[in-house]
Copies of this chain bind each other. A is one copy, B any other.
Amino acid sequence: MNINGTPTRTLRAHPGQRLIDIIDQTRLPHALHWLRVATLDEAAHAIRAMQVRGAPLIGATAAYGLAIALSSDASNTHLQHAAEVLRSTRPTAVNLHWALARMESLLQPLAAEQRCAAAWLEAGAIAEEDVLQNAAIGQHGLAIFRQIRHRQPGTLNIMTHCNAGWLATVDWGTALSPVYAAHDAGLAVHVWVSETRPRNQGLLTAWELAQHGVPHTLIADNAAGILMRSGHVDAVIVGADRIAANGDVANKVGTYLKALSCADNNVPFYVAAPRSTLDFACPDGASIPIEEREADEFRRVHGLDAHGALSALQQLPVGEAVANPAFDVTPARLVTAIITERGACPPDQLTTLYPEHADA
């Protein structure tokens, strides 16, 4: 992605200095602020506090977090400790577990003095693969968008939920990668951006679409239904935090409601995700752990005050009880297709794209 005309990734690794720079996403869309991550605790905090977020970016950040941890102590004990600290930051996105498992299985057999260099190389490989896979998702999604456009000429109206764009990955995004590919290919595309309460990640999506010049309109999450019923949505595309073997999809809370509305209005519903989001060991959505986040992210609202400073307001009287599940599960029957770096398929046919898991 270009930010102010300069190609930019969401994560900058500095292996020579044993640290990385990330964008503090809690300050967007109001400020683009880079944050230095130089310790295991800083990496874990960045993931837990959602300074970095989005399943693929969480995976890459965790891999680098392990490399950072090994830079001070490459012992086997510390490797296990660091992996455990990072693994416990967030429960739902499987990319975190996938990236850590991949790092551990490579690093465990190595001698301690080899581990640090190998960890930085492998984290870099995970980040590079993410970029390439997302670019491939973009092309597969673009082919689908062209088919829809062929049936219904005019501007393609795409709805998305949460942020599954550049900011949720190392580059390009998952759900937004086809949108950028379509825009860059000259297709007229407009995006309905769902606010995504309570953390308002829709504002991140609006910000990055604006950076790339893609026309878009923000809506309350509640408005998805009426827009579909009135024929203003040609397709919905979202990312995922974990896709079970049967095609059930865990994604940001509210995704399931959009999928229901798609089914009721004959609007296709697509899920875009790389291999690292597929959990073939998980039989179905009921087996996916759903993160319950703290009530405070609902109680307090953020924005700019009269002086242009980022500030928080108390939205709720103290003492009001809040329930705050961060994800929901969309059953496979509501998903038109899953788009991965290998192509698109119906949700119950993932093993046609990944035959190596056919017996899983």
Residues of A within 8 A of B (CB): 29-30, 192, 195-198, 200, 203, 206-207, 210, 216-227, 229, 252-254, 256-257, 260-261, 264, 290, 298, 300-305, 311, 313-317, 320-325, 327-329
Contacts and interface: CB of A to CB of B under 8 A. Distances in A.
Given A256-B261, A260-B257, A303-B313, A325 B206 contact: no
A324 B192 CA distance: 12
B256 A317 contact: no
Given A223-B328, A226-B256, 7 more contacts: A197-B221, A217-B322, A219-B322, A219-B323, A220-B254, A222-B328, A225-B254
A5 B295 CA distance: 30
Given A302-B313, A303-B313, A316-B203, A222 B254 contact: yes
B260 A218 contact: no
Nearest to A328: B226
A314 B304 contact: yes
A48 B206 CA distance: 29
Given A220-B253, A254-B220, A29 B317 contact: yes
Contacts of A327: 226
A226 B321 contact: no
B206 A220 contact: no
A334 to B, nearest CB: 9
A336 B317 CA distance: 34
A197 B222 contact: yes
Given A222-B254, A225-B328, A30 B317 contact: yes
A225 B257 contact: yes
A194 to B, nearest CB: 9
15 contacts: A29-B317, A197-B221, A203-B315, A216-B321, A218-B298, A218-B320, A219-B324, A222-B254, A223-B254, A225-B260, A226-B325, A229-B256, A257-B260, A302-B315, A304-B314
A211 to B, nearest CB: 11
A30 B298 CA distance: 16
Contacts of A207: 317
Contact of A222 (B29, B196, B320): B196
Most chain B CB within 10 A, of A216, A311, A315, is at A315
Nearest to A194: B222
B315 A313 contact: no
A210 B219 CA distance: 30
A317 B202 CA distance: 13
A92 to B, nearest CB: 12
Contact of A221 (B218, B254, B303, B305): B254
B257 A218 contact: no
Contacts of A218: 298, 316, 320-323
A252 B35 CA distance: 41
Nearest to A207: B317
Contacts of A305: 305, 311, 313-314
Given A218-B316, A257-B257, A223 B325 contact: yes
A220 B254 CA distance: 9
Most chain B CB within 10 A, of A229, A257, A290, is at A257
A56 to B, nearest CB: 22
